[in-house]
Structure 1
């Protein structure tokens, strides 16, 4: 499994403890040049910590979460790659098992987490970028994916062979791009979701959410072939590199 991390020293050890309870094949923390103690906390918690520059070192890094995930897929060795965000608060064991279980069906290629997202202590239907940007655009442009409750969830799993075939958007549009790309390549029935209960993340201020929403919108417009939406920075599939 792969945990992308950037300055998450307060939560990364708890995330690792929760996923270790499921005894995964491997736990890789991809550290994107954290300036705090994230790497030390992750290592002490029992994960293998890789700085993103160590993976495919001949390829310069680009800013963004998608870069960590792309390099994490390159470093992973399992048949299924489970992704979990490093900023989860009070994570519960069982995530890895739940996200991996649907792959007993050979037609499943992507498993997304479904959950109630807390905001100011109250459970809600999702994050603000999810509800106000991602889901409306999916319903309008990709109605076959309109039932996915948490399209931007950082907790999900992909067959590694499938991940190697797909481009990864460099920034926060990576989850939206992968969702559309898997459904386009393998059909919408190749995507399923599992209920993980209530999830608690660090809620970001609007000053950070605006740029995130912009990247998500441009990624979905790019996948829909809408002209004039601006360039979307993405890594080409790893299958041509590894």
Structure 2
């Protein structure tokens, strides 16, 4: 290791089994919790996910709202989620003054605007055999440990017979993080879609619009707040749809662009084309949305919401 380079930080680790419903309720107090699911064409899986969270955590009072942000789905995602018990909002209807935007990061950013919780927990909507541990495990450290700001999930994926991250993580994200942000490379799955944080922290971070959102949030969190408030949680096993290499290419490029631009804006363009033989070029754009505290209508809405909660 070079003399000017410090060893990677040790990121605290928990297990979802550490946090059952009685313990969460004991520490919850008046904290409001929102679970947000970004979803595009996930009609097959979003219903069981919402129903499980509703039965296990909403009914008990651990979770206060289940929110599905429908990202221009062409299937029955919205109706299935609504029937299962979620509040469903179309991404196109949120912060319309900022334009339509695109991608997962855009949806997560908009979910922060419409969610009412003091703590936001995000889960991907493509998980099969979903268990409420994906929410309670993330929520546990945020409620029970006063110095935790963001909790990141990790898991084993039997479809690929491995315990590490996915292909994009191990071939793109982890090598680049090891070079430029080694403390974050110590995370088991830095690109995991199951994570959450305290609104007071999340609202101060910019959101990359596309696939780079997870790694972008981690790097900005480290820069602005350090890593003492970041933990990771073992969520056991996760089953989800595997994507082809053709589908993963744009995601991998977005991750690389995001990491490189967070190191130095001049290392990579904000938008570039992914060139592959036999495929049409794909434009990969890692434009950012501003921290929510810089959005005027968000500040106004926050004040109005606080006024309604006054005794």
TM-score normalized by the length of structure 1: 0.95
**2:57 equivalent to 1:22:** yes
In structure 1, what is the equivalent of residue 45 of structure 2? 11
Equivalent residue in structure 2 for 1:110, among 132, 150, 156: 150
CA distance in 2, matches of 1:75, 1:158: 15
SS of 2:173's equivalent in the other structure is helix
Let me know the Cα RMSD of the aligned residues. Answer: 1.3
CA distance in 2, matches of 1:128, 1:222: 21
Confirm or deny: 8 A CA contact 1:167 1:235 kept in the other structure: yes
Matches within 5 A, 1:1-242: 1-20=35-54, 21-23=56-58, 24-103=63-142, 104-120=144-160, 122-225=161-264, 227-231=266-270, 232-241=286-295, 242=298
CA distance in 1, matches of 2:230, 2:201: 12
TM-score normalized by the length of structure 2: 0.75
After superposition, give the CA deviation of every residue in 1:88-143 in whole Å (9 maximum; x if it has no partner).
111112222211111233322110001112335x3442211111111111111111
- Mind listing any 5+ residue stretches in structure 1 that lack a counterpart? none
SS of 1:209's equivalent in the other structure is helix
- Mind listing any 5+ residue stretches in structure 2 that lack a counterpart? 1-34, 271-285, 299-311
CA distance in 2, matches of 1:117, 1:182: 27
SS of 2:57's equivalent in the other structure is coil
